[in-house]
Amino acid sequence: MALATEGCIIPDTYPTMSAGYLEPCDFVLRGGSYTGHSYWSSTVATWPLVVLTVSSDRLTLCSSGLGGFHYDFPKNSVENLVLRTRNILPGVPVAGLQIIHNLPGIPPYIVFGTFCPAKLTSALKSLGFEYAVTRNASAQRGVGQTIKPYVTALGSIMAVILGLLFKFRILSFLKGDTILSGGREIPTEAFANFIARILFVGGGISFLIVLSWLIQRRMRRYRE
């Protein structure tokens, strides 16, 4: 079970009030991440395996599954936040939040990616986290604001394949009875089914985007 708000998945394993909503001080978003010493040497955790929790006094980044991690950033350890935004498709924005910190034992290069930039910026602003905003360089030049349809089609296929791997618990880290997700132990079967549904929906949306592009292209050629 999970609460879904404007396309952002909010696990209900986090502290809730009696009405069933998250505590006012916590904003939770699901996405992906890059962690390492630099972009080129970082380890990638894909959406939706990473959870960012924005609290009044800290940021917490967790990843479940193989190679999972739990990084806690008290507010006074965050030296800077850099938000980079771009469109992967027309009207489909993504954002990457780089957390520049001074904590030993945590990789120096930390970036959280989300499909919900508005929710992320709202959470940061409401809880007093200042950040700098930059646009993707290629987007500033008007180049690369969209990706080629065949890449989207490939992503759709990969999402379905990954969804099947989760659905039937083929991956090694899904063999146990419980799994760590967002800092809490939850039943692996429920987690796997939940992620599989997300991947199937994402794959279906990507397929519809490609189909729409093909129809529009055919119509333009017909008009010509």
Label residues 113-145 b or e (16+ Cβ within 10 Å = b). Answer: bbbbbebbbebbeebebebeeeebeebeeeeeb
Task: Determine the average pLDDT of the residues in 58-71.
Answer: 85
Q: Model-level pTM? A: 0.60
> Within 10 A of 172 (CB to CB), how many other CB atoms are there?
9
- The yes-or-no verdict on residue 10 having pLDDT over 80 is no
Q: Which of 14-28, 108-122, 135-149 has the lowest mean pLDDT?
A: 135-149
Helix (H, G, I), strand (E, B) or coil at 151: helix
Query: Which residues, in sequence order, are CB contacts of 139 under 8 Å at separation 6+?
Result: 86, 87, 145
Q: Give the H/E segment covering residue 89.
A: strand 78-89
- The yes-or-no verdict on residue 19 having pLDDT over 70 is no
Residues 122, 96 contacting (CB under 8 angstroms):
no
Which CATH architecture best describes the domain 2-140? Roll (2.30)
pLDDT tens for residues 77-113? 999 999 998 876 666 788 999 999 999 999 999 999 9
